[in-house]
Structure 1
Amino acid sequence: MSTAYTVKEIYIYPIKSLAGINCQQAFAEEMGFQNDRRWMLLDSDNQHITQREYPILSQFYPEIADGKIRVTFKDKKHDFFIGEHLDDQIYTKVWEDKSFVFEVNKTTSKWFSDRLGFECKLVKIINSGDRRHESSRSKEIYNVSLADAYPYLLIGTKSLDFLNEKLQEKITVKRFRPNIVISTQNPHEEDDFEQFKIGEVHFKNVKPCGRCIMVNNDPQNGVVKKELLKILSKYRNFNNSVLFGINIVGLNPGIIQVGDEVVF
């Protein structure tokens, strides 16, 4: 297979379901990129909160600098240290996976509660193995972060181009919350990738990514429109799952950066 594939964009999403950060490079770890989806919001029943129920979460914008994460929502800002957390372990679930997390601090939890209008808390996953996910396809078990399922999501540029040809309102790849965007030659050819290397890191394709109603949420304004998933389902519905992009795992730690070739 040709090596004429290069990394165009890299994203991390420090807090699950909040906006992402466009990066020039990122350090790949077993659970995903460093600081990617290590935090999430829980409600008063310790259930995780996502854009599926609260599209407004897309309007919270994180930044990372000087060992802190700063979150901006409208004209309000709040920051906390990357390494801080309280001592008491909290049991929760991310979908069907048991997960152990720790609250960051009470002040941060109150800031999010005040912005969202209901009680919630910001929590962090600390250790590899505090959440384990079993692949429905291979039955392999992976140590993962607080992402929906797998450590990394990869999308090819031609897949987005092909979809945009069918949409009245064009979208950006941010709608699908990828970690890695690569230049491709044909729509959805990434589905057939097996193992490959980017920069210092070897990756393995676990399975195509099934999409949900969250892709209908426009990250520019938090407005939900149903056209996208409806159009996508007309040509990417396989066994009642609408597929776009691939879930991948990293086989070793290392750095990848924009401009790196994808080597097979």
Structure 2
Amino acid sequence: MSAAYIVKEIYIYPIKSLAGISCQQAFAEEMGFENDRRWMLIDTDNQLITQREYPVLSQFYPQISNGKITITFQGHEHEFSISEHLQDQIYTKVWDDKSFVFEVNKTTSKWFSEHLGFGCKLVKIIKAGDRKHESSRSKETYNVSFADAYPYLLIGTKSLDFLNNKLEEKITVKRFRPNIVINTQTPHEEDNFEQFKIGKIQFKNVKPCGRCIMVNNDPHNGVVKKEPLKTLSKYRNVNNSVLFGINIVGLNPGIIQVGDEVVY
């Protein structure tokens, strides 16, 4: 792999299913980037809440500064500390994975409940091991946060370009909620990456990422459309799974930056 393969964009999503944050650099940890999907909304039955059922979640915008997270929604703001949480442990699940979490605070849960129109809590995962996910492909078990299954999602630029050439209404990579976007030379060549290095971090490709209806939610306005899933399903459907991007794990901690070379 040549130096033409470089990191173009980095994103974190502090709260699962809310908008993401574009970063110039991020610290890679076992469970994903620091502060990436360490928080999640659950309902009064302790079931996870996502954009699949509530597309409006895409219109909640987080920012991180001075050890605090500020959420903006339709002109309203709320702030809480990254470090805070209540003491009572809550049992929940992320899909089929058991997860042990803690509510951030009652005020934050009330703020989200008021703006969503139903009772919910903002919860936090505290440490590695509080949620484990077993890969159906490799049968390996990974410590993960609240990502759907794996700590990181990587997408190549040519994969998006190829898709956009087939769409009447062009989309951005934000539809697919990647953590890492790299410059590539051909569509979907990232599928074939096995192990590779970015900066001093070794990554391993676990599996292609199967996409759901959530990619049809336009992050600019929260409107769900038929695309791009309709078009993707015509040429990226493998065993009834529509593939776009790859799920990867980091094998050691460290910082990666926009502009870093990808060494394969």
Same fold (TM over 0.5): yes
**Paired AA for residue 74 in structure 1:** Q
Q: CA–CA distance in 2 between the matches of 1:187 and 1:263?
A: 18
* 1:253 partnered with 2:218: no
2:143 corresponds in structure 1 to 143
1:196 corresponds in structure 2 to 196
The share of aligned pairs that are identical, in percent, is 84
Instruction: State the Cα deviation string for residues 76-107 of structure 1 (Å, max 9, x = none).
Output: 00000000000000000000000000000000
* 1:263 partnered with 2:263: yes
1:127 corresponds in structure 2 to 127
Cα shift at 1:58: 0.1
Q: Which blocks of at least 5 consecutive residues in structure 2 are unaligned?
A: none
Q: CA–CA distance in 2 between the matches of 1:213 and 1:99?
A: 24
**Paired AA for residue 80 in structure 1:** F
Cα shift at 1:207: 0.3
Cα shift at 1:2: 3.0
Instruction: State the Cα deviation string for residues 49-93 of structure 1 (Å, max 9, x = none).
Output: 000000000000000001000000011000000000000000000
Cα shift at 1:228: 1.1
2:70 corresponds in structure 1 to 70
**Paired AA for residue 241 in structure 1:** S
Q: Could you state the TM-score of these two structures normalised by the residue count of structure 2?
A: 0.99
Q: CA–CA distance in 2 between the matches of 1:203 and 1:117?
A: 41
Q: CA–CA distance in 1 between the matches of 2:200 and 2:222?
A: 36
**Paired AA for residue 235 in structure 2:** Y
Q: CA–CA distance in 1 between the matches of 2:154 and 2:176?
A: 10
* 1:113 partnered with 2:113: yes
1:169 corresponds in structure 2 to 169
How many corresponding residue pairs? 264
Q: What pairs with 1:54-69 in structure 2 (closer than 5 Å)?
A: 54-69=54-69
Cα shift at 1:253: 0.2
Q: CA–CA distance in 2 between the matches of 1:213 and 1:18?
A: 15
Instruction: State the Cα deviation string for residues 184-211 of structure 1 (Å, max 9, x = none).
Output: 0000000000000001210000000000
Q: CA–CA distance in 1 between the matches of 2:19 and 2:207?
A: 24
Q: Which blocks of at least 5 consecutive residues in structure 1 are unaligned?
A: none
2:50 corresponds in structure 1 to 50
1:260 aligned counterpart, secondary structure: coil
Q: CA–CA distance in 2 between the matches of 1:169 and 1:38?
A: 33
2:228 aligned counterpart, secondary structure: helix
> Could you say what the CA RMSD is over the residues aligned between the two structures, in angstroms?
0.5
Cα shift at 1:24: 0.1
Q: What pairs with 1:182-193 in structure 2 (closer than 5 Å)?
A: 182-193=182-193
Q: CA–CA distance in 1 between the matches of 2:3 and 2:46?
A: 45
Cα shift at 1:4: 2.0
2:19 corresponds in structure 1 to 19
1:227 aligned counterpart, secondary structure: coil
Q: Could you state the TM-score of these two structures normalised by the residue count of structure 1?
A: 0.99
